[in-house]
């Protein structure tokens, strides 16, 4: 064997050894830090709502939704010893997510879902932060992940549904995008909540106070600018609804206690 061949063989062996060491280090990192490799999933539809799903007492799945400038859910609690599958999506621009104190580091990219698995051994509070500049509220964008003692952990009770999704009135609210600006569970939004709207004493932008009755509801659906509720902007577009649809909506609202 000539000296140049011998040298070539040595270089190839060193290169292969180097690659093997790299793979070994990656495997070691996954084992030591309990963090799976981030994966970009293009076959899952990005989520619109954050969620914590319980697979078993020590296996959870979190759907994080990043949007300007918050994470949904804002707080997640799991017991120590849990494996958590983190799925991340965004409803607007690109955000980044880092879970301080762990190796979890993902990008929230429009159109796709990013995934990584984390295992938590000990109780501890973790901070979830956005690490990709996403506008003026970027540095406020944070959430909490709490790992608690399994003895004190209370499983999340599944929330009772507040509406019957089969109700024609509810289906209209969904179809006409009303729920983008009006909540039905009392939470704040761009428009007044629809929960308990019927019979509610309501102060208007012009200073008058009215009681939200059948006539008011019909007028406000057909012509939103007619009576604007105090504290809200006159931004609701006139919806295209048939007489029948308005009847169904009003009936649904009157029963939305
Ligand atoms: Cu989101 Cu920075």
Query: What residue ranges do the domains of the chain occupy?
Result: 1-33, 39-148, 168-254
Res 159: pLDDT: 47
Is pLDDT at 150 greater than 80 in this prediction?
yes
Helices (H) and strands (E) in the chain, counts: 4, 13
What the block records as the tokens of 115 is 């995934």
What pLDDT band is residue 213 in, cutting at 50, 70 and 90?
confident
> Which ligand 1 atom is the nearest neighbour of the CA of 133?
2
Rg (CA), the chain: 26
Is pLDDT at 8 greater than 80 in this prediction?
yes
Report which of 222, 226, 219, 232 is spatially closest to residue 188, judged by C-alpha positions: 232
By percentage, how much of the chain surpasses pLDDT 70?
A: 91
Report which DSSP code applies to 229. B
What pLDDT band is residue 66 in, cutting at 50, 70 and 90?
very high
Ligand 1 in contact with 95 (CB < 6 A)? yes
CATH class, 168-254 region: mainly alpha
Report which of 195, 216, 186 is spatially closest to residue 204, judged by C-alpha positions: 216
Res 157: pLDDT: 52
pTM > 0.75: yes or no: no
Highest mean pLDDT among 36-50, 216-230, 243-257: 216-230
Res 30: pLDDT: 67
Distance 38 CA to ligand 1 centre (A): 19
Strand pairing class (59-67; 51-56): antiparallel
Quote the CATH superfamily of domain 39-148: Cupredoxins -  blue copper proteins (2.60.40.420)
Is pLDDT at 10 greater than 90 in this prediction?
yes
Length, in residues, of the chain: 257
C-alpha count within 13 angstroms, C-beta hemisphere, residue 226: 12
Distance 134 CA to ligand 1 centre (A): 4
What pLDDT band is residue 233 in, cutting at 50, 70 and 90?
confident
Res 76: pLDDT: 92
């Amino acid at each position: 064997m000539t000296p140049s061949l011998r040298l070539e063989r040595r270089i190839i062996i060193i290169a292969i050894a180097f690659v093997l060491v790299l793979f070994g280090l990656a495997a070691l990192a996954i084992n030591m830090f309990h963090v799976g490799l981030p994966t970009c999933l293009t076959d899952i539809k990005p989520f619109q709502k954050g969620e914590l799903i319980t697979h078993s007492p020590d296996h959870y799945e979190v759907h994080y939704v990043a949007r300007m400038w918050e994470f949904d859910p804002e707080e997640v609690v799991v017991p120590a010893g849990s494996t958590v599958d983190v799925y991340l999506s965004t409803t607007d621009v690109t955000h980044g997510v880092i879970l301080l104190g762990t190796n979890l580091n993902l990008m929230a990219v429009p159109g796709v879902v990013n995934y990584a698995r984390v295992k938590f051994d000990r109780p501890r509070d973790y901070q979830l932060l956005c690490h990709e500049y996403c506008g003026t509220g970027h540095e406020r964008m944070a959430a909490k992940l709490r790992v608690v003692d399994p003895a004190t952990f209370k499983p999340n009770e599944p929330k009772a549904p507040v509406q019957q999704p089969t109700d024609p009135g509810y289906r209209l609210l969904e179809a006409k995008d009303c729920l983008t600006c009006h909540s039905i569970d009392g939470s704040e939004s761009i428009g007044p909540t629809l929960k308990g709207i019927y019979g509610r004493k309501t102060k208007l932008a012009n200073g008058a106070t009215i009681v939200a009755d059948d006539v008011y509801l019909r007028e406000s659906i057909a012509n939103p600018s007619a009576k604007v509720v105090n504290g809200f902007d006159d931004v609701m577009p006139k919806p295209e609804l048939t007489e029948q649809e308005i009847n169904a909506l009003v009936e649904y609202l009157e029963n939305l206690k």
